[in-house]
Amino acid sequence: MSREPIIGENNSSQSGGDSNATPLQKSSPKKATSEPQMDEDRSLRPKLMDEMVGQADIKAQLQIVVDAAKRRGEALSHVLFDGPPGLGKTTFARAIPNELGTTIEFASGPSLKAPKDLVPYLTNAQEKSILFIDEIHRIPKAVEEYLYTAMEDFRIDMVLGEGINARTYSYRLSPFTLIGATTRAGMLSAPLRDRFPIRHHLDFYDLPELKEILLRNAKKLQIEIDDDAADELARRSRGTPRIAINRLLWVRDYAESKADGKISVQVATDAMKMADIDNLGLDKQDRQYLETLIRVFGGGPAGVEAISHTMNGAVDTIEEEVEPYLLRINMLVRTPRGRKATSKTFEHLGVDPGPLENPDRLF
């Protein structure tokens, strides 16, 4: 089982050297596939909360609970992060064990298909260590129920044998911390959500924060970028650090190939144009969504399924990746009858709302 190395600590333990000998055969849990493995991503990701930009309230509150847990010598309470993709849920989850001086193991919701997939993670968790479950909204009910006693009482019940030989064994776990991350907090059942005493919602970043992230990453990567080019890229980053970094990497390549390697406003604008990213940072998929809503559904209201099917897109992707930012910048509203475009949407796409029916779509 792979463990994340800890900053400043030489920890080579592989699997729970604790006294909890399990009667079960341990299977090796799969590593989360959603984790980016690129070296560049790893070196760019902040390792401590102090190195993270923005999210000041969350950082301050987490610092308090981390300090308190360290002082008491206890495991940190379970933590749940939710919010759209690329805003720092995994970055926080990776920083916490570094702050605590402990280890972290990674699991992902879709790979935990049955309780037996979860058991090795739980039995291998060492005292005060972190178990991170990404996309936790995707664990099936049976696995979720198994987590309840593990989280609350640090105990799991296992049935061994079959028929009249079946026996239930209660197995004590070392007190550990579960960190869950989800892009869909609404899909988490209330009993699971309530078992996380610490819950934080990550919101989009503002322009100065995105600019700071761009400048810090440019420095790490030794990219030369003008101040106003950083402003321009920040504006086109959809409020999302991951997108900001990806766009910086694209513009760096563009600058190296088409210019003298330095990122000026002109280079940044040309590179964005070539990648089909508009002046608000919206990409092709965002615009296709808005075009469909306006041209096919007359600006709405329209159900997300109908819009997704018309676009030939996956409903999940639309709900998780496209809609949150459009809602945030008031290009979309949600009503009980469905999604609706706003006057800003018509304006941005250059469509005259006049001839379309359904006048109550405008705000």
Find the binding residues for Mg ion in span 310-339 (CB under 5 A). Answer: none
Find the binding residues for ligand ATP in span 309-338 (CB under 6 A). Answer: none
| Min dist. Cβ of residue 32 to Mg ion (A) | 9
242 is catalytic: yes
| Min dist. Cβ of residue 50 to ligand ATP (A) | 10
The piece of 38-46, 86-94, 285-293, 298-306 that touches Mg ion (CB under 5 A) is: 86-94
Closer residue to Mg ion (CB): 45 or 216: 45
Closer residue to ligand ATP (CB): 46 or 324: 46
| Min dist. Cβ of residue 266 to ligand ATP (A) | 26
Find the binding residues for ligand ATP in span 44-73 (CB under 6 A). Answer: 44-46, 52-55
Q: Would you give the binding string for ligand ATP spanning residues 89-108, x where CB under 6 A is met?
A: xxx-----------------
Closer residue to ligand ATP (CB): 54 or 299: 54
| Min dist. Cβ of residue 157 to ligand ATP (A) | 31
Rounded to whole angstroms, how far apart are CA atoms 172 and 169?
10
The partner in contact with residue 104, picked from Mg ion, ligand ATP, none with C-beta cut-offs of 5 to 8 angstroms by kind, is none
Q: Mind spelling out the 3-state secondary structure of the chain?
A: CCCCCCCCCCCCCCCCCCCCCCCCCCCCCCCCCCCCCCHHHHHHCCCCHHHCCCCHHHHHHHHHHHHHHHHHCCCCCCEEEECCCCCCHHHHHHHHHHHHCCCEEEEEHHHCCCHHHHHHHHHHCCCCCEEEEECHHHCCHHHHHHHHHHHHHCEEEEEECCHHHCEEEEEECCCCEEEEEECCHHHCCHHHHHCCCEEEECCCCCHHHHHHHHHHHHHHCCCCECHHHHHHHHHCCCCCHHHHHHHHHHHHHHHHHHCCCCECHHHHHHHHHHCCCCCCCCCHHHHHHHHHHHHHCCCCCECHHHHHHHHCCCHHHHHHHHHHHHHHCCCEEEECCEEEECHHHHHHHCCCCCCCCCHHHCC
* Pairing state between β 177-182 and 79-82: parallel
The partner in contact with residue 52, picked from ligand ATP, Mg ion, none with C-beta cut-offs of 5 to 8 angstroms by kind, is ligand ATP
Q: In Å, what is the CA distance from 59 to each residue of 67, 100, 139, 200?
A: 12, 14, 27, 10
Q: In Å, what is the CA distance from 93 to each residue of 55, 139, 193, 253?
A: 14, 18, 17, 30
Measure the CA dihedral 194/114/109/70, to 10°: 60
116 is catalytic: no
Closer residue to Mg ion (CB): 90 or 129: 90
The partner in contact with residue 85, picked from ligand ATP, Mg ion, none with C-beta cut-offs of 5 to 8 angstroms by kind, is ligand ATP
Closer residue to ligand ATP (CB): 46 or 353: 46
183 is catalytic: yes
Find the binding residues for ligand ATP in span 8-47 (CB under 6 A). Answer: 34, 41, 44-46
47 is catalytic: no
Find the binding residues for ligand ATP in span 213-272 (CB under 6 A). Answer: 213, 241-242, 245
- Contact assessment for residue 98 and residue 144, using Cβ atoms and an 8 Å cutoff: no
The partner in contact with residue 55, picked from ligand ATP, Mg ion, none with C-beta cut-offs of 5 to 8 angstroms by kind, is ligand ATP
Point out the catalytic residue in the list 182, 183, 240, 292.
183
| Min dist. Cβ of residue 30 to Mg ion (A) | 16
Written as six digits, the tokens of 31 are 């590593």
Find the binding residues for Mg ion in span 148-207 (CB under 5 A). Answer: none
262 is catalytic: no
Point out the catalytic residue in the list 94, 242, 247, 361.
242
Q: Which of 78, 82, 90, 307 binds Mg ion (CB under 5 A)?
A: 90
Q: Applying CB under 6 A, which residues contact ligand ATP?
A: 34, 41, 44-46, 52-55, 85-91, 181, 183, 213, 241-242, 245
Q: Applying CB under 5 A, which residues contact Mg ion?
A: 89-90
Query: Would you please indicate which residues are annotated as catalytic (active-site) residues?
Result: 89-90, 134, 183, 242
